[in-house]
Amino acid sequence: MESWSILFNFEIITPLIMAGASPAEPEVREQSINGIFRWWFRFINAHKVSSVKELFDEESRVFGSQKEAKPFRMRVLDRDKLKGNFKAYLRMNDASRKNIYRLAFEPEQAFILNIQEDLRTGIADELESIVKFLSLLGGAGARWRRGFGSLMEADFIPSSDTPEGLVEEYKSVLQLNGKSFRATYGDAGLFMNLTSTSIFLVFPEGGFWSGWEGAMNSLRDRIYRPLKGKSKSITIRGYRGSPLIIQIKKNGSGKYYGVIMVFRRWKSGADFLRDVLKLKSGLRVVGIHKV
């Protein structure tokens, strides 16, 4: 394999809960990150194919399969420098049950993800796109759908210092990755993807939160908890999950905001936004991608 290195510098935004060999000790593992990358590959590409089989064929080209090894190698660097004794309370930072927690990596730490790619495969752009979406929308580890485990890569942290500018930055990324492309994606539409998921940015009245805890508490109390009864779990091919994903992110100035992703099984993004507006939460919720 003739290879070259792609280095991604990840910063931990909210407590990161990832299990290692011992459940009591969190660990950033290549296998876990590889699984996360697969999830985001499906999110970005499911709407471009006609079936799940075609999607998995494309996924195998990038990540390998039982018949063929994946065309890149991944290593986590500097993981031994991470502090992993942070108590992450698992109910969206809900201090009412202080005994429900797991140890996690605390925020404001960083690690390097080193990827060596076979030059003959030409998948560097696809890997970069995955990292970009993970940074702007997603997270890793346990409870990442509820605000934990937010990661942002240094090159993809938004620079805008106003909510309006941030909205435009996000829209430009989504448009470049197929926002307006509507394919007949068949059963691949069972997966969360760009044509089945509405995306919203959330801000407090003052523009941004000053810390991740304020953002998490506010989103929990003003949006997640009041709407919990509406966001019933959905079952897709035996897997049960929530149609609602909540993440905490920050801009280049270190100011925090929320990202909410709503799978279309909620009915539609418009229904979700209507339900939020009924709450009169005092938060500004801006739709940046509606289905």
Residue range 165-202, pLDDT digits in tens: 999 999 998 876 654 444 444 666 667 888 888 899 99
Q: What is the DSSP string of 217-268?
A: HHHIIIIIHHHTTTS--EEETTEEE-SEEEEEEE-TTS-EEEEEEEEGGGS-
Q: How far apart are CA 194 and CA 168, in angstroms?
A: 17
Q: For residue 184, is it left (φ>0), alpha (ψ between -120 and 50) or beta?
A: beta
The answer to whether 153 and 8 have CB atoms below 8 angstroms apart is: yes
Supply the pTM of this predicted model: 0.90
pLDDT, tens digit, 9 for 90 and up, residues 145-154: 999 999 999 9
Tell me which residue has tokens 């950033």.
Answer: 28
